[in-house]
Chains A and B, each alone.
Chain A
């Protein structure tokens, strides 16, 4: 499948974009619904980015590409895992290709750059994976909606609880990519963990696309920690897991990870070195819930591999948006109504096997699984659920108003209770 555009109408789209303003009026309500899909097809998140597109396209392949008589056209652009490129491509999609709305991106910094852009022009932007907390907390932008998504600090909190109460961890070292998503995941973990009585011994922050973790691994060994929480995505996650095992730390210090660390897009190419890592997520490909099993089977059949978080999220997102578009008979030009409808959808047939809807701040509430990486009979590794924390929102057990009084998580504020 050609990456650049889903339907062959892309060529027509380009030609009509070049034709200028007079073609615009003619296209209006009866033309194709154009969706701009931004994804990192190169760069540190390339593996995940590819799956983002696959997951999104799988839905349309299954459900057909017509909504209320209009064709659905998906135009894919590569954001190169880079916020500047993401911004450029977003502009191009909106201003040159006239898309009706934007979907996608993975890295929080790319998502934030695009969010700022759409704040200025009101184009709807749906982010199933971009998890920067504040987009549904203190700095909400009305036309940015976390469809079938999650906020960064939402997921690691149950993990902190599990690590402290079940695994008796008391002194944790965190290793993380040094950007918003990393700060927020570690913050979510650190706040709960320290409130329960544990200590965060040390925190390591490294740039995206770090090839060599040896300096950090040396320090982890010397730190006296009894557990490590690693927040890595994409190629960094892959390298970290490998090097963690190569340096002999695996098996000596238990490794807890953000869900991105043990995502399929990362562990698919790994072997025994990725076994036994505990993470937390709403999506668990090894879950025995019938809806999940069905989805995993279909995905495996279509693409020859197990679905990752990115594939799953965008599949769900496509499902969600299709539902919303059907309800308004495909009239996506009316942004206000479209956004209102999207916000009001309850996704009944989610592959998670439970209905998903947004809380009053625009972020979904999920049952979060504690997962462990295990080998399947065929030798492939996947995440299986070992416990579940029901109905976790982006605010955990905190009162939303009280919670939002504390500053957003950052390098300097990790919610650590003194």
Chain B
């Protein structure tokens, strides 16, 4: 992509983000906030699933750990919000570290199952450790500071954080380190032969993706003012994964499309029918059969083909 086009896209994107509260007022602004938070989660999943080729089912749990810590620290322990956020992100990153240490020796289907099991453990703890997590009741309380009480303010704050996160993740996956991750996805044995410390790269990649998921989780605490075992359940991880894959694995920004599509569709479809789960399932089946590279991936390959044809016809 030419630098000029890229810059134009970035400016267009930022402008679109800035105009959201005007174009989509009221309740829809809250939906936009939600889309951005889950887009951040989906992008963190993409770092691992798309760029490194390790499909993960535990990032919902990592995300939710941050939410729990923030809500617990502020509501139950009575601490300050920003300290809570730092602790939340720290807790999520630590969780990712522990998971990474266990998971780096596996790949493919076993990696999926292992991350699933690890996510279940976190869920089980949140469900049964009632004295800390509130068990079935969850933890409720408004943790966002006063100046973010208004939904438009919260939106702009989230959008700002999102832009920073997206930029950081973009730099990360395009750095030499990120390229190594891609190399690992293509052929682990080759990378090993070339002398790269694959386990170390995997470990860092996992931890970094967990870090970003944690930030998204902390933002979710601001947005939702409530956390319960559902937030760390398998369903949350599946949703994040779906967003990343439907949007386009390995494209990073496909995750935004995935998140917007899933959340907007759910809100829209639910007005007319209860069959959202079926719609979601079909969408996934169709994507896997016809466009496993996701929406953005498919768009890119179509564009590339158009370009080739144009160049070839000359």
Within the complex, are A and B direct neighbours (CB within 8 Å)? Answer: yes
Whether B30 is near chain A, meaning CB under 8 Å from some CB there, is yes
Residues of B near any A CB (own CB < 8 A): 25-27, 30, 127-128, 130-131, 135-138, 140-142, 224-226, 228, 230-231, 267, 270-274
**Given A113-B140, A177-B136, 8 other A-B residues pairs in contact with their CB atoms under 8 A:** A14-B271, A83-B137, A84-B138, A84-B231, A109-B137, A117-B226, A120-B142, A179-B137
A residues 365-418 in Cβ contact with B at 8 Å: 411-412
Q: Is the CB of B26 within 8 A of A84?
A: no
A96–B272 CA distance with the chains assembled, in angstroms = 14
A260 within 8 A of B: no
Interchain CA distance A177-B267 in the complex, whole Å: 32
Can you name the residue of chain A whose Cβ is closest to the Cβ of B225? Answer: A116
Could you list 16 examples of A-B contacts with CB < 8 Å? A14-B271, A21-B26, A82-B228, A83-B136, A83-B137, A83-B226, A83-B228, A84-B138, A109-B138, A116-B226, A117-B226, A120-B142, A179-B135, A207-B135, A208-B136, A411-B130
CB contacts (< 8 Å) of A109 on chain B: these are: 136-138, 228
Indicate the size class of the contact surface on chain A. Answer: 20 to 34
B135, B142, B272, B273 pick with most chain A CB within 10 angstroms: B135
Query: Complex Cα distance A87/B141, Å?
Result: 13
Q: Are A178 and B130 in contact (CB under 8 A)?
A: yes
* A contact residues around B271 at 8 Å (CB): 14
B243 CB, nearest partner CB in chain A, Å: 17
A343-381 contacts to B (CB < 8 Å): none
* A17 closest partner in B (C-beta): B27
Whether A95 contacts B30 by the Cβ 8 Å rule is yes
Beta-carbon contact of B30 and A82 below 8 Å: no
| Distance in angstroms between the alpha carbons of A21 and B22 in the assembled complex | 12
Cβ B226 vs Cβ A84 within 8 A = yes
Is A96 within 8 A of B27, CB to CB? yes
Q: Flag if B228 contacts A84 (CB, 8 Å).
A: yes
- Assembly CA distance A373 to B165 (angstroms): 60
**Assuming the A-B contacts A83-B230, A91-B30, A207-B128, are A112 and B137 also in contact, with contact meaning beta carbons closer than 8 angstroms in the complex?**
yes
In whole Å, how far is B270's beta carbon from the nearest beta carbon of chain A? Answer: 8
**A225 to B273 CA separation, bound complex (whole angstroms):** 50
Interface status of A20 (Cβ within 8 A of chain B): yes
Chain A min CB distance to B85 (Å)? 20
Complex interface: chain A residues within 8 A of B30 (CB): 91, 95
Contacts of A82 on B, CB cut-off 8 Å? 228, 230
Q: At the interface, yes or no: A180 with Cβ under 8 Å from chain B?
A: yes
Which residue of the partner chain, among B136, B225, B273, B274, contacts A179 with CB atoms under 8 Å?
Answer: B136
Nearest neighbor of A85 in chain B, beta-carbon distance? B230
